[in-house]
Structure 1
Amino acid sequence: MTPTDDLYVLYRGPLASCNYDCPYCPFAKRVDPPELLRADRADLERFAGWVEATTDRRLSVLFTPWGEGLTRSWYRDTIVRLSHLPHVARVAIQTNLAARTGWLAEANPRVAALWATYHPGQVRRETFLDRCRDLLARGVRFSVGVVGLPEHHDEAVALRAALPPAVYLWVNAADGHVYTGEEERRWTALDPRFGDSVRPHASLGLPCHAGETAISVLGDGTVRRCHFIPAPIGNLYDGTWRAALRPRACTNSLCDCHIGYVHLKSLRLRDVYADGLLERIPVAWPLPSSALPLPIVAARCPGAHPPPPARSRPA
Structure 2
Amino acid sequence: MRHLTILYRGPLASCDYDCPYCPFAKRRDTPEQLRADRTALERFTEWVAAQDHPVSVLFTPWGEGLVRSWYRRALVRLSHLPHVERAAIQTNLSHRTSWTADADLDTLALWTTYHPGQVEHERFAAKCRDLAARGVRFSVGVVGQPEHLDAARRLRADLPEGVYLWVNAAEGRTYTDAEAAGWQALDPLFSYSRRPHPSRGLPCRTGDTVVSVDGDGTVRRCHFVPAVLGNLYDGSFREALRPRGCPLAECDCHIGYVHLEATGLYDVFRGGLLERIPHGAP
Q: TM-score, normalised by structure 2?
A: 0.98
Q: Is the 8 A contact 1:234 1:240 kept in 2?
A: yes
Pick aligned residue for 2:132 from 129, 136, 146? 136
Q: Tell me, in whole angstroms, the C-alpha distance in 2 between the residues paired with 1:264 and 1:26.
A: 22
**Runs (5+) with no aligned partner, structure 2:** none
1:201-216 alignment runs, 5 A limit: 201-216=197-212
Counterpart position of 2:73: 77
Q: Tell me, in whole angstroms, the C-alpha distance in 2 between the residues paired with 1:223 and 1:159.
A: 38
Counterpart position of 1:30: 27
Pick aligned residue for 2:152 from 156, 159, 167? 156
Q: Tell me, in whole angstroms, the C-alpha distance in 2 between the residues paired with 1:223 and 1:67.
A: 20
Counterpart position of 1:5: 2
Q: How far apart are 1:147 and its partner, in Å?
A: 0.3
Counterpart position of 2:37: 40
SS of 2:155's partner is: helix
Q: Tell me, in whole angstroms, the C-alpha distance in 2 between the residues paired with 1:189 and 1:130.
A: 23
Counterpart position of 2:266: 270
Question: Quick one: which amino acid aligns to residue 147 of structure 1?
Answer: V
Q: Is the 8 A contact 1:17 1:28 kept in 2?
A: no
Q: Tell me, in whole angstroms, the C-alpha distance in 2 between the residues paired with 1:139 and 1:226.
A: 31
Counterpart position of 1:18: 15
Q: Is the 8 A contact 2:269 2:276 kept in 1?
A: yes
Q: Is the 8 A contact 1:19 1:30 kept in 2?
A: no
Q: List per-residue Cα deviations over 1:126-177 (Å, max 9, x = no partner).
A: 1001111111111110000000001000000000011123100000000132
Task: Evaluate the alpha carbon distance shift between residue 148 and residue 278 of structure 1 in structure 2; reply closer, same or farther with a 3 A threshold.
Answer: same
Question: Quick one: which amino acid aligns to residue 155 of structure 1?
Answer: A
Counterpart position of 2:50: 53
Counterpart position of 1:108: 104
Q: Tell me, in whole angstroms, the C-alpha distance in 2 between the residues paired with 1:104 and 1:65.
A: 19
1:291-306 alignment runs, 5 A limit: none
Q: Tell me, in whole angstroms, the C-alpha distance in 2 between the residues paired with 1:26 and 1:161.
A: 28
Q: How far apart are 1:34 and its partner, in Å?
A: 1.1
Q: Is the 8 A contact 1:17 1:27 kept in 2?
A: no
Q: Is the 8 A contact 2:129 2:160 kept in 1?
A: no
Q: Tell me, in whole angstroms, the C-alpha distance in 2 between the residues paired with 1:40 and 1:252.
A: 30
Q: How far apart are 1:27 and its partner, in Å?
A: 4.6
1:141-290 alignment runs, 5 A limit: 141-285=137-281
Over aligned residue pairs, what C-alpha RMSD do you find? 1.1
- Which runs of 4 or more aligned residues in structure 1 lie more than 3 Å from their structure 2 counterparts after TM superposition? 26-29
Q: List per-residue Cα deviations over 1:206-247 (Å, max 9, x = no partner).
A: 000000100000000000000000110011000112111100
Question: Quick one: which amino acid aligns to residue 231 of structure 1?
Answer: A
Question: Quick one: which amino acid aligns to residue 29 of structure 2?
Answer: D
Task: Evaluate the alpha carbon distance shift between residue 113 and residue 45 of structure 1 in structure 2; reply closer, same or farther with a 3 A threshold.
Answer: same
Question: Quick one: which amino acid aligns to residue 59 of structure 1?
Answer: V
SS of 1:50's partner is: helix
SS of 1:240's partner is: coil
Q: How far apart are 1:5 and its partner, in Å?
A: 1.6
Q: Tell me, in whole angstroms, the C-alpha distance in 1 between the residues paired with 2:233 and 2:130.
A: 37
Q: Tell me, in whole angstroms, the C-alpha distance in 1 between the residues paired with 2:130 and 2:159.
A: 12
Q: How far apart are 1:7 and its partner, in Å?
A: 1.0
SS of 1:276's partner is: coil
Q: Tell me, in whole angstroms, the C-alpha distance in 2 between the residues paired with 1:60 and 1:275.
A: 12
